[in-house]
Amino acid sequence: MHKVIALALVRWMALALALAPSACKSEAKTGAASADAAPIIDPRAPYLTDELMTRFVESMRADANPFDFLFRAQHGGGEEGKPAGNYGPERLEKMNAFARGFGLAGAEEYFQIWTRIMLAEMTDLAESARAMGDDMARLLEKRLQRPDLPEAERRDLEEQLRQVKERFAAEDVRGSTLNSADVEVVRRFQGAIDEALVKWNQ
């Protein structure tokens, strides 16, 4: 799951940068209401609901999915063998139609939901890493309390402690992780998400 998350995040970021102007052009050409497009919302603001997640997971189980490149961990191909970045108005409209067929606002909302799923996983990983860092720091601090500790060993332990604190402070992403409400929603659906990902990575 972690490999899927990391690789899909890279693909989504690259696609999303180009998707925004293309989406606007596509909406203008097709005459679709602008209200259909989901706004890009700060990940710190709750967005996900059980209903949205149920619809999203159902879409992941579909036999054909124009968003399948998001779910594939081993290669950059996707729907109809097209590379993830090979898309235009026709493919974008297919994405919009697919998402709307499952009751979602369109491609932008589909990407937004998947991004929050990935951010929830990354938030859990970051919390685990912080807990591991705290455990390592406590162990080193306990060893430093030994009264008969040789000076050379003390300097070595102090340096290790400094590095641990520095490393995990740099990796502390609490200010940019997903809000706790969305994380809890994703956790409730994590088993179904993992199950749905299997067929895209066989």
pLDDT in tens, 127-156: 777 788 888 989 999 999 999 999 999 899
- The span from the CA of 57 to the CA of 79, in Å, is 17
Q: What is the mean pLDDT of residues 2-18?
A: 45
Q: pTM of this prediction?
A: 0.64
Whether the per-residue pLDDT at 45 is higher than 80: the answer is yes
- The span from the CA of 183 to the CA of 108, in Å, is 20
CA distances from 99 to 6, 74, 112, 156 (A): 23, 24, 12, 56
Neighbours of 158 (CB within 10 A): 13
Reported confidence tier of residue 106, pLDDT bands at 50, 70, 90: very high
- The span from the CA of 167 to the CA of 65, in Å, is 40
Whether the per-residue pLDDT at 18 is higher than 60: the answer is no
If DSSP codes are grouped into helix, strand and coil, which group holds residue 31?
coil
DSSP classification of residue 76: S
Neighbours of 135 (CB within 10 A): 11
Tell me the average pLDDT of the chain. 76
- The span from the CA of 51 to the CA of 34, in Å, is 22
CA distances from 193 to 49, 55, 68, 112, 121 (A): 15, 12, 13, 15, 11
